[in-house]
Amino acid sequence: AIRDPLSGRVYVYQSMRVTGAGDITAPHKMTLKGKLPQRTISTTAAAGFSSYGNQIGLATGQVHELHHSGYVAKRLETGFVVGAAPAENVVREVPTAGDVILLIGGETGRDGCGGATGSSKAHTVESLDTCGAEVQKGNPLTERKIQRLFRNKEVTRLIKRCNDFGAGGVSVAVGELAPGLDIDLDAVPKKYQGLTSTELAISESQERMAVVVRAKDVEKMQKLCVEENLLATPLAKVTDLGRMRMFHGGRKVVDLSRAFLDTNGATQEHTVEIDETAPAYFDEVKDGAAVEKKDWTRALKTTLADQNVCSHKGLAEMFDSTIGAGTIYMPFGGKYQMTPSVAMAALLPVANTSTATVSAYACYPNLLSQNCFVGAAYSVLMSVMKVAATGADYKDVRLTLQEFFEKLGGDPKRWGKPTAALLGAFYAQMQLGLGAIGGKDSMSGSFENLDVPPTLISFALAPADARSLITNVLTAGKCVYRIKMKRTESGMPDFDYAKRLMETLHGEIQSGEVKFCQVVEEGGAAAAVIKSCLGEGVGFFFNVLDRGAFTNSLGDLLITTEKPEAFADFDCSLFGFSTEHGGVTTDAKIRFDDKGEYLSVSKKVKLSDYSDAYTRTLEKVYRTTAPAKGEAPQLSYAEKNITVCNNKTAKPKVFMPVFPGTNCEYDTARAFEKAGGKTDTFVIKNRTAAEIDESVDEIVNRMRSAQILMFPGGFSGGDEPDGSGKFIATTFRNPKIADAVRELLARDGLILGICNGFQALVKTGLLPDAKIAAQNATSPTLTFNNIARHVSQIVTVRVASTKSPWLSATRTGEVYGVAVSHGEGRFVATESDLKALAENGQIATQYCDLDGNATMLSPFNPNGSMYAIEGITSADGRIYGKMGHTERAGANLYKNIPFNFDMKLFESGVKYFK
């Protein structure tokens, strides 16, 4: 998903993950022979995906897992990414004889031999023994380097044509680039010796790109790659022979005619039998007995607890959702971060823009299992409606589809399922006037006698202006209207009705009349509105509750508006009122007094009861909170910063070293530039001993002309071994660099470290002691989060001390929202050190609850830091380290989170020198 866009020189800036599993809460004894437990598969897969995405610096805007017993046969794993590139940077030319093909990036091994074909095989109990070599070993640090390289317009304009090393390895990645090719397999960089010609030709080892350049540009391209700490190896030459030839060990091992390769294989035909049974899905409810008894409270709790309705917050928080400083919607919104966003949205990865992309997915395996045609049509429509619900224009949507079906063999009924699904999707596209671009499929979802459910996922994307986008978080005192989707007896949606509804909705959002919109999916309207309430903790009075509020009413909309008459042409009615009391009424129609105000009727159920039902289902698998020991004193160091800079400058220079694994440099540079500073970014080279020596000298030279040293966030050295900034700290203990740091501080310089940079400052000893020194067993340090996983969310922090120049624009006790994303953020120290830091005003910022009280309670304190420490300073305040990503703030970000994010941290650092 990352390397494919790179082939088009596109930088990926947001992703979505959709997976499918069986019951991940099932006891171990229910595990099938030849399979791991569903819980193990899901948690391990999530750890792998999130680790890779987090390390390369990819904001993941939505994470959701579909649950169906059929996914025990074969897990569904889908990634959807959004990327962009300036059009002027993308050059597409036809290679000519004499051009050279370079292999850029990682080395080749036996991993990934047959990977693409392997992923399209049905599984058996023997698969574990026979498929191991098909799995590719990723190297996210190298992928990040390639991403950086391809953001350089000087690089991309040298490239005539480009391919990633996907299915087929060298044979396809290079073989597709030109009609005539001579490929030297001996030149392929290797992870180890002993690889055969076949292994070198077909290995799908990751993080490699093949680029065509003119012969005269080879040296220039190689130098540009070195600047990004990458290897670029000449691998092949373009010829005019019309043949693809490979050479290895002094002999020709492949010689194929291009005419043969272009035949594209044999044509196949199959007989198809399509099931036209009308689905019962739209009449189904999660708790039929409770609904029949009109026990709405139980019905609502049961629905919210269903695995396809309940919260996936603990899973989503493993994925960095804010890197890039472009996230418009957090995956979960409201001050309590409990309302799942209906879509993901992000600003384009350029400075000073309000242009955004909005993306959503839809897939309903239970409906598809009953009728593939209807299920696919709804997948397409619902993905579009979710995008429209944010305020984007549905007519601007483009789609892509992913299909996952059972092993087909020669059975006409089995072939009928993907056929019906694709016909249904195509019908929906024609009705909406929207096209699908690309897409992938797998017809191999079988294990012994078990099959995956028919799966067609529709992904929708549209451009939008971030300033006009709305959220699905409900606040108090709002009338909520339900607009029902119109459908035929066969279950198909009325597309003309849907289009008119989306057009009207778009107009009302643009005019400011509609500021809240929620899309109803599986589980019904009642559960949908409660999920919208949970984010802000508001209550709800249902106007009318009936069976229809609990059916799978796909496509219904919930909106707030002062002009309900605008929707008079649709099936629109008052659904209820949001309230401040935090309770929910579920019975009887609400009565009004003579002023039109509602009167409370009957009993109220606490919103927290529904919150518990919504969160508890997956809590044991994906925890959202963790216990923490110790006290969190409310610190307020009153003494203001008295540090004075005697070396003034109009535009201070910020030196920012980029280590292998650094991934926050773009966000941080943008923040400093906006604040009036000038950033100087340098990529550390470490491929050879000579390059390391050169990097040390370059760091020293650049620091001599800088006023600020900045350590941005990331995963330096992959956070291994012993992680958390150790690689950076080791580098900065070099005597030459250590002297340069002392010189910087002697001339009144400032140092800032965020997240991984904070870890580096602590590991070097610069925090809290302002000197580079080795740590001992009792030194303060940062270690693993007490929740035992990566945490990505918005937290609130309070200013505990304004002693630092970095905090000169704040006041003690002020509270700010800040994005956190880390796996090792728990600050620990001896009690004596903690007290000394507090007494000296070096504890600068503390995690706090929504009332501004320092706390050890999770999730407010996301890692269990002692004394609720989010950041500390040196004794004079000039060195500041913090875990929260203050650089990830700006206009139109986090629209579904109601916090103040502007600490003016970077402005304060720049102002110090003026």
- For 269, counting Cβ atoms within 10 Å of its Cβ (0-12 exposed, 13-18 middle, 19+ buried), the class is exposed
CA distance 485 to 296: 22
The residue to which tokens 């992904």 are assigned = 459
Residue 205: other Cβ atoms inside 10 A? 28
In single-letter form, the type of residue at position 278 comes to: A
In single-letter form, the type of residue at position 795 comes to: V
Backbone phi and psi for residue 789, each to the nearest 5 degrees, phi listed first: -160, 170
Residue 29: other Cβ atoms inside 10 A? 6
Picking from 456, 454, 459, 484, the residue whose alpha carbon sits closest to that of residue 554 is: 484
Planar angle of CA 851, 854, 857, nearest 5 degrees: 90
Strand pairing report for 791-799 and 708-711 = unpaired
H or E element that contains 737: helix 735-746
Is residue 885 part of the annotated active site? The answer reads yes
CA distance 414 to 405: 9
CA distance 42 to 65: 9
CA distance to 375, 566, 578, per residue, from 515 (Å): 30, 14, 14
Of the listed 199, 204, 870, 887, which one is catalytic? 887
* Encoded tokens for 294: 């009109």
Strand pairing report for 181-184 and 76-84 = unpaired
CA distance 684 to 666: 16
CA distance 81 to 58: 9
* Encoded tokens for 596: 């039109």
Residue 811: other Cβ atoms inside 10 A? 10
CA distance 434 to 400: 11
CA distance 732 to 739: 10
Question: How many residues are recorded in the chain?
Answer: 914
Planar angle of CA 19, 23, 27, nearest 5 degrees: 140
* Encoded tokens for 103: 């292999």
Picking from 389, 360, 379, the residue whose alpha carbon sits closest to that of residue 501 is: 389
Strand pairing report for 879-882 and 869-873 = antiparallel
CA distance 209 to 317: 31
Contacts of 207 (CB under 8 A, 6+ apart): 3, 105, 106, 138, 139, 142, 143, 146
Of the listed 225, 317, 885, 907, which one is catalytic? 885
CA distance 441 to 106: 28
CA distance 207 to 868: 39
Spell out the SS3 assignment of 80-94: EEEEECCHHHCCCCC
Tell me 121's DSSP state: S
Q: What beta strand segments (E) does 825-906 contain?
A: 826-828, 843-848, 869-873, 879-882
Helix, strand, or coil (residue 542) = strand
Is residue 887 part of the annotated active site? The answer reads yes
CA distance 662 to 125: 41
Of the listed 162, 572, 645, 755, which one is catalytic? 755
Is residue 755 part of the annotated active site? The answer reads yes
The residues annotated with a catalytic role in the active site are 755, 885, 887
